[in-house]
Amino acid sequence: MNILVWLIFGALAGWIASIIMGKNRKMGAIANIIVGIIGAFLGGWLFSLFGAQGVTGFNLQSLLVAVVGAVALIFIVGLIRR
């Protein structure tokens, strides 16, 4: 059950981040899940640098952290692809 929750959470965070960054048409469901999960780790690390809590569970604050991390990941990948 825990893996399923992380997949849903990653898909939701990745999908929101792809909409924010204007990449929704180029990304599929699998890419959204991967970006969302990696973004959750990246967002947790970024927030911990500033003394804030990272991903703490399936809640709104954790979703915000994951979306911020996923947006940062999409931005970094976009810079590398140029």
Q: Is the pLDDT of residue 57 over 80?
A: no
**What is the residue-averaged pLDDT of the chain?**
87
pLDDT tens sequence across 6-34: 888 888 999 999 999 988 888 888 888 89
**What's the predicted TM-score (pTM) here?**
0.87
Range of the domain at 46: 2-81
Which residues, at least 6 apart from 42, have a Cβ–Cβ distance to it below 8 Å?
Answer: 69, 70, 72, 73
The answer to whether the Cα torsion of 59, 9, 51, 72 is positive or negative is negative
Give the model confidence (pLDDT) of 30-39 as tens digits. Answer: 888 899 989 9
pLDDT value at residue 82: 80
Question: Ramachandran region of residue 12, left (φ > 0), alpha (ψ -120 to 50) or beta?
Answer: alpha
Q: Indicate the number of domains in the chain.
A: 1
